[in-house]
Chain A
Amino acid sequence: MIQVHELGKRFGDVKAVDGVSFTVAAGEIFGLLGPNGAGKTTTISILATLLPPDSGRASVCGLDVTTDGEAIRRRIGVVPQEMALYEELTAEQNLDVFGRLYGLKGDQLKRRVAELLELSELTEHARRPVKGFSGGMKRRLNIMMGLVHAPDVLFLDEPTVGIDAQARTRILDLIRGMNEQGLTVLYTTHYLEEAEQLCDRIGVIDHGRLAALGDKEQLIHEIGESDAVRLLLATDRHADLAADAARWPGVSWAGFRRGKFEIQCDDGAPVVARLQTWLTEDGLELDQLEVIRPNLESLYLKITGRALRE
């Protein structure tokens, strides 16, 4: 559905997108994961034919983004990062205007608007000006605005920024629901849990380059299957622990990493048991302990050396 090959775009000295390649199959939810300024919005803008690429090729629905802009725009929906809504108009009027823009009219238009209001659970607020809406309601309406003309592909640019967990869950459910109806989704976020929960395949982008690409299991495999036990001792005996722990079975490495003592191992459970024994023998106490199973976070850290939360 979406093919991207060696895509590049620069703004002055900034390489916003730098040789990015990936494909998204029909009916898939593809997650583009990356921190601020990674190039997510730029990539979406190029695919949505709002920005011409400097190099590389990209096609959407089999149409070339540089030459078939008009045809592509009819078949895609775009949900921009900002709330692109008319605040002074009601929810219904907002949807109505964009329905008309895409050539819907009469009963067909009315039905579609009602359907989308229903889907986003905004029916009872349909006649209220958007400026009185909560952040979550606006976000939901913002998504619906990209769907009025029933597109084949939906580009969602960080649709859950700045809303609470409950509202976020509703939005993720909404997207999953639409995907089950056959919609292909390209989804950008810098929330890892979202990508883990929602996406079939994920691309990690940083400084305009695609650092990793694949399905979730594949990516986790890439960073090795080791668990990590992270802890801090109440007293300063970390050096002794490092020397001992390195000799424990299944442990590959022990030492300080990112402010905490970390033991990398095949399996966390026996290591924690060993650790308890070691502590009691010396009468030591723990300050903190956590066992980290490999996930996208560890992948992300490994790739970018930066944590991925805001």
Chain B
Amino acid sequence: MTSAVIRTLVLLHVRKILAEKSNLFWMFGMPIMFTVLMGMMFGTTSSSGPSEAPEVTVYDASRSAASGDLIASLGGREQYRIVVADTVGSEDLARQLVDDGRRTAALWIPAAFDDSLTAGRPAPLRFFFDSDRASAQTSRTALAEAVRRLDAIQGGRHAAGAGEFDQAVFDSLWAEPRVVLAATTLGRQQQEESALAGMSSGFQHTGPSYTLMFVMMFMLMSVRDIVLERRAGTLTRLRLGAASSTTLAAGLFLGPLLVGLAQAAVLLGFNTLLPSMDYGDSVATLIVVMVLFTGVSSALALVAATFCRTTGQADGMGMTVSMLMASLGGLWWPLEIVPGFMKQLALMLPSGRAITVFHNMIGRGWGLTENAPHLLWLVGALLILMVLARVRLRRLIA
């Protein structure tokens, strides 16, 4: 019985939406238009500048063949760029760069590097990095490899110099490497690397963000529907027909939720047709974040409806809430470019949490575990709003 009532309420919601053809434009036409146009705008800015790989500075005091070779084998990668400083620099300067957060990693090659190597003495290297940043981690791994390679080359030279392979010499080199890498982590936990760094196209922001925005907006537009139902008396009719007011509340929550999910599926699906658009590797995260966000929106709309008496109030409320959620929550522009306190504020909104999860999925390849704090926040918000909606509706429909 209960499930038949809920199914009917969902069917009713779908019918009401389909009866008004302009709804389809609001649900699909508008968001697609915005995604494409705004994505193209963001696309041009991100290809120059902010999305470039972070710099790893090298102070090369030795300026020798060996140091040049080492730097060359560090190479440039997708995740970082090696920039050799013009000045000789110093160990302290290198440390300073990372400490200040100006670089994710910095390498200092002492002046005696080449001489020590040639003389067979240990040749130290100083590397400072921020262990929280992906680019620093990668450059550190690359440096370790380059050092091993240099050591092996030294071994090879010695072996070749002796005319034949001398295992004793090799073993001594193996046990006591000539190039000594001293890597120092400068933990800068609070400063995470921007997820934007891992994103290559404006669509990667506008795709998910306009999907979130229009799903929420369309749902808040339906606040007016519930107000109308109340005024027309159809809500009373539903109350008479539905077995209990809990069932009625469940139906009023699920109808928009399912329609919102269908809308999201279409929009997210369309987005994948855009250049360099994907949602990372975790389909589960994509589904979970979308269900949670849509659920939160539906519950929010229901709560909002109980506070509105007229359609004018409903429209005003819907417009204000969706504008605030979208702008402050980072759906209009990426949160990565707003000041810290605005970022904190955004994380107090479901929209801010949801888009952060999307950026983490797309820019960092994060899944359920890494996004857990945001997803759990959304679960909490959903529960609170559902309880609130239930309480408010009970007062409304007795």
A residues at B contact (CB < 8 Å)? 48, 50-52, 70, 73, 76, 78, 80-89, 93, 97-98, 100-103, 105, 129, 145, 149
In the bound complex, do residue A101 and residue B8 qualify as a contact, i.e. CB atoms below 8 Å apart?
yes
B16 adjacent to A86 (CB under 8 Å):
yes
A5→B7 CA distance, assembly (Å): 39
Name the A residues within 8 Å of B238 (CB-CB).
Answer: 101
Please, how many angstroms separate the alpha-carbon atoms of A100 and B3 in the complex?
11
Is B236 a contact partner of A80 (Cβ separation < 8 A)?
Answer: yes
A303 to chain B minimum Cβ distance, whole angstroms, is 30
| Range for the number of chain B residues in contact with chain A | 20 to 34
Q: Which residues of B contact A86 (CB under 8 A)?
A: 12, 16, 234
Asked if B11 and A100 make an inter-chain contact with CB atoms under 8 angstroms apart, the answer reads yes
Say if the beta carbon of B111 comes within 8 Å of chain A: no
Query: Looking at the complex, which one of A76, A84, A129 makes contact with B232 (CB distance below 8 Å)?
Result: A84
Partner of B233, one of A82, A93, A129: A82
What residues of chain A lie closer than 8 Å to B16, measured between beta carbons? 86, 88-89
Chain A residues with Cβ below 8 Å from B7 are 100
Determine if B398 and A101 form an interchain contact, defined as CB atoms under 8 angstroms apart: no
Using an 8 Å CB-CB cutoff, how does the interface string of B15-43 with A read, 1 for contact, 0 for none? 11001100000000000000000000000
The answer to whether A70 touches B244 (Cβ under 8 A) is yes
The distance in angstroms between the C-alpha atoms of A129 and B16, with both chains bound, is 11
Q: How many A-B residue pairs have CB under 8 A?
A: 66
Q: Check A50–B19 contact: CB distance below 8 A.
A: no
CB <8 Å contact, B241 and A88: no
B233-A97 in contact (CB<8A): no
Q: Is the CB of A88 within 8 A of B20?
A: yes
Cα–Cα, bound, A260→B241 (Å): 52
CB of B12 within 8 A of CB of A78, answer no
Q: Is B250 an interface residue (CB 8 A)?
A: no
Using known A-B contacts A84-B233, A88-B20, determine if residue A50 contacts B240 with beta carbons closer than 8 Å: yes
Kindly name the residue among B1, B20, B233, B236 whose own CB sees the greatest number of chain A CB atoms within 10 A: B233
7 closest Cβ pairs, A-B complex: A84-B233, A101-B241, A88-B19, A100-B8, A82-B233, A80-B233, A84-B234
Question: In the bound complex, how far is the Cα of B241 from the Cα of A149, in angstroms?
Answer: 9
Asked if residues A101 and B233 are in contact (CB atoms below 8 Å), the reply is: no
Select B240's contact among A48, A87, A103, beta carbons within 8 Å. A48
Which of B4, B15, B231, B236 is A103 in contact with, Cβ under 8 Å?
A: B4
Offer 6 A-B interface pairs, CB within 8 angstroms, sorted by A: A48-B240, A50-B239, A52-B398, A78-B240, A101-B9, A101-B242
CB nearest neighbor in B for A80: B233
The B322-370 residues at the A interface (CB cut-off 8 A) are none
Given A51, A85, A87, A149, which contacts B398 in the complex, CB threshold below 8 Å? A51
